[in-house]
Amino acid sequence: MSRFLRAVNGRPVDCTPVWFMRQAGRYMPAYRKLREKHTLLDICRHPELACEVTMQPLQRFNFDAGIIFADILLPLQPMGVPFDFAQGEGPVIERPVRTSADVDGLRSEEIYADLAFVMDAIKLVCAELKGRLPLIGFAGAPFTLASYMIEGGGSRHYLRTKTMMYSEPHLWHRLMEKLSRVVGELLLAQHRAGAAVVQLFDSWVGCLSPGDYREFVLPHVTRIFDMLGSVPSIHFGTGNAELLPLMKQAGGRVIGLDWRIDLDVGWERLGHDVGVQGNLDPLVLFAPPAVIEQRVSDILRRADGRPGHIFNLGHGILPDTPEEHVKFAVDAVHRLSAGVPSTSAEARLGGR
């Protein structure tokens, strides 16, 4: 069993497995070159292109897992909510979902069948990896998807989202029920297609209080993990460590930690019967290698060699991240967690 899968299952490893959220992306010149000819959605919708982009970071860095190149918003179009990415900005949804009629009009059955290109891309990547590395499938969580649908794009305060939650709770729950079904089925389809592990991204759920999470999110995310059954899974959120115990309650063998909480404190709060993934601030990759090494080392020290830690960033890698710092960080995780003594980080980077 691969190092990554062993960690997901809470088993001992020779050194800490590492992958980075958004590891295939704009910080890589190879990706930017491909984007000159294809839009992000084009790449998602053409399995050969999605496969090529998924493989790029695996050819360049010593990551312990791949993650299929896709976008959390892909289910929106077949649900009846078309969107596009505005130049240099986030997603723009043409007709946001705000009324009872809007929610009733959403398709939610077998949406994964309309996203067969994702499963096809997963099959291509698995064929290319030949079992050398495991592949991660993923989907956006219902709250995060609902916030895009309702706001019509990214949001700062989640005004319309929370207003629907507070003012029309029945409507909110109907929307979340539809989304949970779509997301659960999509994750299962990705697993059947070959994704060894699936990750649920609840990127924006940290804007909620614990009470709101419990009332408006927990039942729906719980349903998704119930659907997943024994499929190995990672449950990721950012921006509010107070939600961690509730996220664990909803499900996931491994819980993602952003950088706002010390890893040992977060793991303690969760309990050691789940794994943790994290928790380097993506901004640290802009720092000199000596600082990167110190931060990697600090996280590993806090993980204390306990089985079930997957090293990752606390959120997605940023577009301007220097590629050579990514390589340095990934190698530092392996080197430092295997207990190999460290020489000067600066010298090693210089000698690459």
The minimum distance between CB 189 and a copy of itself, in angstroms, equals 33
Q: Distance between CA atoms of 1 and 134, rounded to whole angstroms?
A: 9
From 3, 22, 295, 302, the catalytic residue? 22
Q: Which of residues 67-96 bind a copy of itself (CB under 8 A)?
A: none
Among 153, 210, 219, 307, binds a copy of itself (CB under 8 A): 210
Q: Distance between CA atoms of 180 and 1, rounded to whole angstroms?
A: 30
Q: What burial class does residue 235 get, using C-beta atoms within 10 Å of its C-beta: 0-12 exposed, 13-18 middle, 19+ buried?
A: buried
DSSP element (H, E) containing 44:
helix 40-45
264 is catalytic: no
DSSP output for 70-139 = --TTTTHHHHT--EEEPTTS-EEESS---SHHHHHT---SSGGGGGHHHHHHHHHHHHHHTTSS-EEEEE
Q: Binding residues for a copy of itself, how many (CB under 8 A)?
A: 34
Under the binding rule (CB under 8 A), the answer on residue 264 touching a copy of itself is: no
Under the binding rule (CB under 8 A), the answer on residue 195 touching a copy of itself is: no
Under the binding rule (CB under 8 A), the answer on residue 245 touching a copy of itself is: no
Under the binding rule (CB under 8 A), the answer on residue 309 touching a copy of itself is: no
Cβ neighbour number for residue 343 with a 10 Å cutoff? 10
95 is catalytic: no
Contact 311, 18 (CB under 8 A): yes
Q: What burial class does residue 331 get, using C-beta atoms within 10 Å of its C-beta: 0-12 exposed, 13-18 middle, 19+ buried?
A: middle
Under the binding rule (CB under 8 A), the answer on residue 40 touching a copy of itself is: no
Under the binding rule (CB under 8 A), the answer on residue 190 touching a copy of itself is: no
Q: Which is nearer to a copy of itself, 153 or 239 (CB)?
A: 239
Quick note: the x/- pattern for a copy of itself over 137-176, rule CB under 8 A, is: --------------------xxx--xx--xx---------
Q: Report, in angstroms and rounded to the nearest whole number, the Rg of the chain calculated over CA atoms.
A: 20
26 is catalytic: yes
Q: What are phi and psi of 207, to 5 degrees?
A: -80, -5
The minimum distance between CB 291 and a copy of itself, in angstroms, equals 5
Quick note: the x/- pattern for a copy of itself over 265-294, rule CB under 8 A, is: x---------------xxxx-xxx--x---
Here the tokens at position 334 are 């392996």
By annotation, the residues acting in catalysis are: 22, 26, 35, 71, 148
Q: Which residues bind a copy of itself (CB under 8 A)?
A: 157-159, 162-163, 166-167, 206-212, 239-242, 259-262, 265, 281-284, 286-288, 291, 298, 318, 320
